[in-house]
Structure 1
Amino acid sequence: MVKSKNIPEDYPSDLPKRNISEFLAEKKAESFCEESQSNLIIAADTTVLVEGKILEKPVDSLDARRMLKELSGKYHEVITGVCLLHKDKKISFSDTTKVYFRDLSDAEIEHYVETYKPFDKAGSYGIQEWIGLVGITGIEGSYFNVMGLPIHRVYECLKEFFK
């Protein structure tokens, strides 16, 4: 079952950028602390890091266009933090994938933002959508991590979690 809560996605300003997604995944999991006594909670959060800067979810279409222009012709890192929580046991980790974009035209960016409305996605895009099919030239790491959940790592952690 998938559940979500509307919790603020804020973090300490001095937190290293590579740790933000794991911090937010833990925060999300802990918001379900009461339910973790009888259920396994799996929470995740994804951030995009380009040239040392975090790209979060866009606030509007103008912000989404700005982010996609910033990603155009460059590589960036997608970092997904995951937290497994059950009773008094918690395991957290993050996974990183490098994603390479070709140069995107203004028309392509406009089409994507208007058609797919990527306002709920870090970095303003979904790899599984049109922009991923036509704009991404390669990845180093897990495709599923870029989608928001590094399944291979979750599976390995679950095996350890219940030993």
Structure 2
Amino acid sequence: MRETLVLNASFEPLSTVTLRRAVVLVMQDKAVVEKAHPGLRIRAAAVDVPVPQVIRLCRYVRVPFRRQAPWSRRGVLMRDRHRCAYCGRRATTVDHVVPRSQGGADTWLNTVAACAEDNHRKADRTPDQAGMRLINRPFEPTPSDSLLLALGVSARETLPEWLPLPA
């Protein structure tokens, strides 16, 4: 099962949490289940809760506006869908387009996902110096894109279980 989507009281997506955390929020009356997995329930001696796909917080949480998504290695791998920027195979590491030894920084526009072989072959050089071509150019995701990437969804996709129920 995927993680549970958490909505603010205003129905804006905030983040995702584990199933365990979602159930705790519901049981503490801090959230309500907006959408549950059909036919699945969590049962215990004094508990009978539907398995949540989407929960909504009961109280509004003020979230400071972010102009940029924070950079992370995990974020780069997700942004590039775990595909090597040089060959397209499965990526397991992050490569700096301009190496750190040449002044390159940990930024969205200077890092790409790479397989270990290509990362090792490129070594401490730029792609031009190594004679390698980038398949896709790095880009900076918006904060909402980074939330979707964390959920494993591209900005152009929506999970059907998170769509509103038909009226």
TM-score bin (small chain): under 0.3
Please give the TM-score of this superposition, normalised by the length of structure 2: 0.27
Larger relative contact order, structure 1 or 2 (CA cutoff 8 Å, min sep 6): 1
Bigger Rg over Cα: 2
Please give the TM-score of this superposition, normalised by the length of structure 1: 0.27
